[in-house]
Chains A and B, each alone.
Chain A
Amino acid sequence: MLTGLFNYWIVVMLMMSGLYVVIAHGNLIKKIVGLTIFQTSVFIFYISMAKVDGGTAPILADDIMHYSNPLPHALILTAIVVGIATVALALSLVVRIKAAYGSIEEDEIQQQDNQFEADKKVRKEE
């Protein structure tokens, strides 16, 4: 039981630490790093499901009978590259937020937004 599920538990721990970083940190770069930790833990989860005891990498050879499952490998391979593309998009949004607000801390951005709304109300009343 312990050895059989150990991998999945490690994955859950990694996943939760990534999620914690996303929720608890205000800094947007740290949030993205947390997301990548979460992402990678999902990749590890899929690859551990594909592993077969006594199997080898899924490249055909004459004297080998058992291979690990190649399907998750194909899925995760593309997922990694798509992941970096989406992370790049997130980073460019962060850069634009920095240009617009002068900060990448969540609470400062929230403060400025609230300030803006309050100013708008004051202008309306005038």
Chain B
Amino acid sequence: MKDLFAVVMLSGIYGLLSASFFVAMDAVDVAFTEAAVGAGISTLLMLVVITITGRSEKTTRHNPFPALLIIIITGGLLIYGTLDMPYFGSADAPIHNHVAPRYINDSMQEIGIVNIVTSILASYRAFDTFGELVVIFTAGIGVLALLSIVRRPVDDDKIACINYSMHEQHLVVRIVTKMLIPFILLFALYVQFHGDFGPGGGFQAGVIFAAAIILYAMLFGLSSARIVINQPFIQLISAAGVLLYSCVGLVSLLNGGNFFDYNFLSNDPIAGQHLGILLIEWAVGCTVASVMIIIFFNFADYREMLQSNKHKYNQESS
């Protein structure tokens, strides 16, 4: 495989395939996330990057034998380790006898939400999820720090022409997408607010929402997407999500409970739990969506800058 385009496409297919594994093993929430992330966003980002860095790999290779030796030894040790594992699907494995029974049996009384995964994610382990959200936010900041362009190049007429002609070619795709985008956005909101009753929640909704915006940007050009999405506003939203999340924790702290103890958010514990989960899912959705949009737009902006520089260089040399 010398062609990186094929490699990226195959990795997208692999993401979708692993999502179907997750469905087969009852993890519907996880499958949802993997399908949106592995087959959607990560493939898009890799494609943008290979347009910047070049499409083909060099033919020279390292000597593969040391690597083969290492993976054979490591793989052998890991397989030896699995011999002590409880068999697949056995109900009496240690993992099922620790905290899981409490989650399964008591979460309906304590949290009052049908989807146990959402209860764990947003209430029992809210502090963990807060950490994850901060990691995502930090990664967004990192991409901004590495790639953001201080002065965006003035929109070059020629580049605009090239982009325009490219978009003209994909007329059918554009029209179909234009019809689909509102439904994708609506679906993202459905996933966001339906996370308590079925698979879904802030993480999936954020990724789907971002995918719709990215689709728009890819098909209608960055300049028209910038009219809809302006960068400072999106950066504000991503920070506001993290702020909202931590504020929910602080309010429950001020009301006399522990950090993220939603029982203290209202007079009725269950109503408090519902309110807390709604707010932090909303915070997660906002941050994830805006960070994904920030990441994509930075890659695309960078690419546009390279293109226009190349253009200028060609004009000067001719």
Instruction: List residues of A whose CB falls within 8 A of some B CB.
Output: 3-9, 12-13, 15-17, 19-20, 23-30, 32-33, 36-37, 40, 43-44, 47-61, 66-89, 91-96, 98, 104-105, 107-108
CA distance A64 to B54 in the complex (A): 53
A50 to B160, CA, bound (A): 52
* Residue contact A85 to B139, C-beta cutoff 8 Å: yes
Most buried by A among B66, B103, B288: B103
- Nearest residue (CB) in B for A104 is B53
Once the chains bind, are A87 and B45 in contact (CB under 8 Å)? yes
Given contacts A12-B78, A71-B103, contact A60 B139 (CB under 8 A): no
Judge whether B104 and A40 touch: CB under 8 Å: no
- A27-B4, A66-B91, A95-B147 are known contacts. Are A73 and B30 too (CB-CB below 8 A)? yes
Return the 9 tightest CB-CB contacts between A and B, nearest first: A4-B87, A85-B139, A53-B89, A23-B67, A68-B26, A58-B116, A8-B82, A70-B116, A74-B120
A23 to B30 Cα, complex, angstroms: 29
Q: Is the CB–CB distance between A91 and B11 below 8 Å?
A: no
> Please, how many angstroms separate the alpha-carbon atoms of A65 and B115 in the complex?
15
Once A19-B71, A68-B25 are accepted as A-B contacts, the answer to whether A105 and B100 lie under 8 Å apart by CB is no
Name the A residues within 8 Å of B87 (CB-CB).
3-5
Q: Is the C-beta of B244 less than 8 angstroms from some C-beta in chain A?
A: no
Contact A82 B136 (CB under 8 A): yes
Q: A43-B18, A59-B116, A74-B125 are in contact. Are A15 and B78 (CB under 8 A)?
A: yes
A24-B67 contact, Cβ under 8 Å, with A53-B90, A81-B33: yes
Determine if A37 and B103 form an interchain contact, defined as CB atoms under 8 angstroms apart.
no
Does B213 interact with chain A (Cβ within 8 Å)?
Answer: no
Is the pair B121, A74 in contact by a Cβ cutoff of 8 Å?
yes
- Contact yes or no, A80 B38, CB < 8 A: yes
- What would 10 A/B residue contacts be, using CB atoms closer than 8 Å? A16-B78, A24-B64, A26-B58, A37-B11, A40-B14, A85-B135, A92-B299, A93-B146, A95-B52, A95-B147
CA distance in complex: A55, B28 (Å):
13
Known: A58-B116, A60-B116. A33 touches B89 (CB 8 A): no
B contacts, CB < 8 Å to A: 4, 7-8, 11, 14-15, 18, 21-22, 25-30, 33-34, 37-38, 41-42, 45-46, 49-50, 52-54, 57-58, 60-62, 64, 66-68, 70-71, 74-75, 78-79, 82-83, 85, 87-91, 93, 95-96, 99-100, 103-104, 107-108, 114-117, 120-121, 125, 128-129, 132, 135-136, 139-140, 142-143, 146-147, 197-199, 201, 203, 206-207, 288, 291-292, 295, 298-299, 302
In the bound complex, residues from chain B placing their C-beta under 8 Å from that of A66 are 91
Specify which chain B residues have a CB less than 8 angstroms from the CB of A60 in the assembled complex. 107-108, 114-116
Cβ B139 vs Cβ A27 within 8 A: no
Which of A17, A43, A75 lies in contact with B34, CB distance below 8 A? A43
Question: Closest CB of chain A to B4's CB: distance in Å?
Answer: 6
Contacts of B95 in A (CB 8 A): 49-50, 69, 71-72
| Most chain B beta-carbon contacts within 10 A, residue among A16, A17, A26, A88 | A88
